[in-house]
Structure 1
Amino acid sequence: MRCIRFAFTVACTVLVACGTLAPPASAEPELSARLDRAIADKVAAMGVPGAIVAVSVPGVIDYQTAVGVADTATGAPQSVEDHTRIGSVTKTFTGTAVLQLVDQARIRLDDPISQYVDGVPGGDSITLDMLGRMRSGLFDYSEDDAFVGEFFAESPTGPDAFAQSPQHLLDIAFAHPPNFAPGSDYQYSNTNTVLLALVVEKVSGVAFAEYLQQNIFAPVGLFRTSYPATGALPDPHTHGYLQLPDGPVVDATYWNPSWGDAAGRIVSTTADLKTWAKTLGTGALLSPQTQARRLSNPSAAAPGAGYSFAIFDTHGWIGHNGDIPGYTTVLVYLPERDATLAVSVNSDVPKDHAAGQIAKAVTQIVTPEHLYDLANA
């Protein structure tokens, strides 16, 4: 059975040169035309309904576009205003929430998770830092075969179907033995991020959705970003398309994302994601010391890609990507160029991460010296 595609999709970057002079302003129309062609060609080649792209490289280009259709049934076009599901990019928000509490001296990254959540296998030896860095060894609940089967059976029945609580997700994970001793290895697991959100709730005293709204969404100006309770989406929104394990492609737009919890539930727009990319990459919501620790000591997630505290670094590109049924996303920031890139695709059908393929095509044009290169999905 095909598993639920909802994980960190490895991305690699080829670093060719630094300090390339920006082209003159007159080059922007030519670059925009090249981007228009490249994105449209990639959408057609992958056979996906559409894509939304926003990229900014100061002194070079500030560009956004929507290509293709938002709804294959009606033929409604994509819009740069469309809301979309962002999958695992959610983890960057959860990680930031935890680190804000660190800055407030309300928690420490070296605290064991058992100090905040009962019943975690090996919880006395698993620190908050290990959870954020995917080094806890805890089993990923979204890889449980029975859970996956129930997901595909129930999710299509309505936006309130397959509603999941964090505790139920943890119960599934904890029924499996750990993959390795805490801190001894790296393995991506959504279970880690669910636990971190429970820490935020316990320490802050408010629901996780409320914490995000008060401390991240509103302060940053992410007014079209939300942490939904059901599968309903705000208008306007793009429909997302998923290939089922038995073959057919279906509309997964309104499938309840509660199973993703703090690891993948957020809904946003590409414009908001572009804003968040810079906020995340510069550490604007954190102290310099905490941001530095966040980016330190990355684990080797794949050749050329390191994973730190709820964020990856691919030879300079800082951010995350996402893959949730019906949607793929890339969100990255390049400190060397103060560049931001956000890509949303309303399909997760291609084997290779669709948003990542478009991100590569974009960087080949606007930052060829810093190529975002998707390794696999």
Structure 2
Amino acid sequence: MRYSQVHWRRACVGLTAAALLAVPASVGSAYGVTPPPGPSPSASSSSGTGFAELSPAVAARLDTAIRQVMKEANVPGVTVSVSAPGKGNYLRSFGVADKATGAPMAPDLNMRIGSVTKTFTVTALLELVDQGKVGLDDPISKYVTGVPNGDKITLRDLAEMRSGLFNYSADPGFDKALMTDPKKPFTPQQLLAFAFKHPVQFQPGQKFDYCNTNLILLGLVVEKAGGMPLNDFITQKVVKPAGLPHTLFPTGNEFPSPHAHGYTNQTLSGKVEDATDWNPSWGWAAGAMISDLSDLRSWASTLATGTLLSPKTQAERLKTLPTGIPGAGYGLGIFNIQGWIGHNGSLPGYECLTIYLPEAKATVTVVLNTDMLHNTTEPSTLFGQAVTRIVTPGHVFNLPAVEPRPTPSPVSPSPTR
């Protein structure tokens, strides 16, 4: 999710829309599980939950829709998973994971997941709530000093994106620092310094405004109350209990193999570059994590059903508030869009979408290796929309286009680059 109406593309995406690559994508082999032959009802004729039987005919429609999005948005590679109990499973990879070698996209590749990291950070926070170590209505000043309006902004305000703080990733100085040297490491304190130079945008609770600064602060709260570095807490208390063997919180630009190469035009020149080894520390608690499709598919249901939390705390999490976007609400580090609960993520070179529809116990997961917008829409949104139009026409995942980002001013290359 970017933030508010998302006016800058490096905000680790959350509630917004799509990306575009300037090189045509080749469609590689499809991998997957297709249900056994049988009747091929349309989505509209499916019973009960309104979720389509994932028959060969529906799988063929999904193949066509996904290839069409790839072609229109010039996406190099994508993997899509769709599943629901009693309806079958669909798992396909299309295109390439590496444009230089032509290596095919595959379901087992590690990917950077951008703002889906937020769901892990807030889950960690809510576990501490269950343990009585923090309170959602505690002011952030109780844990972190020097926060503008910190005595009024609560942890709940931060998790709901209603703090009123300035988004550090919208600061021109941060933009210059990141774009000059994308492999540069950032500390949480450096990120907050970019934000705290600016006055508060509004009083806490007044409105929704997607802001990465909120998650950096919550990450510091988890560290203080949890008694260990954030990456260790999330690994030990969230990732392992959730059974996610391929999910990690990197401390630098490490990227386990196998992984897809990621392509972005969020560069000084505006030209497409390989962002695979860029350092995600600038996203930290808001967007630095790595996972694969299998883990994300599992995480979608864990997140939406509250497996790691008490029922009371999960109920608090799912109390979504209006965002100003029709059909979209945001809760505690989680969105509900037309009934789909989850999050999306974007980081230079990568996007993903992991969502769950409770009434059908259905999961849709998408990972792709570009963040380049197509007509101001996130590609992950385009794939989510195309898939849900077929399998859940009564619950079509959709987000409005993002505002065009300003053209960055030229910056001299860093001598360390």
Q: For this structure pair, what is the TM-score category when the shorter chain's length is used for normalisation? A: over 0.9
Aligned to 1:158: none
C-alpha change, 1:238 and 1:245, in structure 2 (3 Å) is same
2:300 to 277, 299, 323: 277
Q: State the distance in 1 between where 2:339 and 2:8 align.
A: 33
Contact 2:79 2:106 in 1 (8 A): yes
Shift of 1:3: 5.1
Contact 1:86 1:324 in 2 (8 A): yes
Q: State the distance in 2 between where 1:135 and 1:5 align.
A: 16
Aligned to 1:375: 400
Q: State the distance in 2 between where 1:207 and 1:5 align.
A: 23
Report 1:88-107 matches (<5 A): 88-107=115-134
Q: State the distance in 2 between where 1:172 and 1:78 align.
A: 37
C-alpha change, 1:338 and 1:24, in structure 2 (3 Å) is closer
Aligned length: 368
Aligned to 1:319: 342
1:291 to 309, 314, 334: 314
Over aligned residues, Cα RMSD in angstroms?
A: 2.1
The two structures have a TM-score, normalised by structure 2, of 0.84
Return 16-25 or 139-148, whichever deviates more.
16-25
The letter for the 2-side match of 1:334 is L
Aligned to 2:28: none
C-alpha change, 1:164 and 1:56, in structure 2 (3 Å) is same
Aligned to 1:219: 241
C-alpha change, 1:172 and 1:67, in structure 2 (3 Å) is same
> What secondary structure does 2:323 align onto?
strand
Shift of 1:54: 1.2
2:16 to 7, 10, 19: 10
Q: State the distance in 2 between where 1:105 and 1:122 align.
A: 24
The letter for the 1-side match of 2:127 is Q
C-alpha change, 1:187 and 1:70, in structure 2 (3 Å) is same
Aligned to 2:85: 58
Aligned to 2:378: 353
Shift of 1:326: 0.7
Aligned to 2:190: 168
Shift of 1:26: 8.1
Aligned to 1:310: 333
Aligned to 2:140: 113
Aligned to 2:232: 210
Shift of 1:127: 0.5
Return 329-338 or 29-38, whichever deviates more.
29-38
The letter for the 1-side match of 2:142 is Q
Contact 2:44 2:52 in 1 (8 A): no
Report 1:65-76 matches (<5 A): 65-76=92-103
Shift of 1:308: 1.1
Q: State the distance in 2 between where 1:23 and 1:321 align.
A: 23
> What secondary structure does 1:284 align onto?
coil
The superposition leaves residues 285-318 of structure 1 with CA deviations (integer Å, 9 ceiling, x where unpaired) of 1111111111114132412111111011113111
> What secondary structure does 1:36 align onto?
helix
Contact 1:313 1:319 in 2 (8 A): yes
Contact 1:304 1:314 in 2 (8 A): yes
Q: State the distance in 1 between where 2:137 and 2:160 align.
A: 12
Contact 2:186 2:282 in 1 (8 A): yes
Q: State the distance in 2 between where 1:47 and 1:170 align.
A: 35
The two structures have a TM-score, normalised by structure 1, of 0.93
Contact 1:84 1:237 in 2 (8 A): yes
Gap regions ≥5 residues in structure 2? 1-6, 18-42, 403-417
Contact 2:320 2:335 in 1 (8 A): no
Shift of 1:354: 0.5
Contact 1:23 1:59 in 2 (8 A): no
Shift of 1:18: 11
Aligned to 2:283: 260
Q: List 4+ stretches of structure 1 deviating above 4 A.
A: 16-19, 22-27
The letter for the 2-side match of 1:365 is I
The letter for the 1-side match of 2:382 is Q
Q: State the distance in 2 between where 1:359 and 1:320 align.
A: 11
Question: In the alignment, does 2:248 pair up with 1:242?
Answer: no
Aligned to 1:181: 203
Identity over the aligned pairs, expressed in percent? 47
Shift of 1:149: 1.4
Aligned to 1:142: 169
* Richer in helix (by share): 1
Gap regions ≥5 residues in structure 1? 156-160
Contact 2:320 2:332 in 1 (8 A): no
Contact 1:9 1:376 in 2 (8 A): no
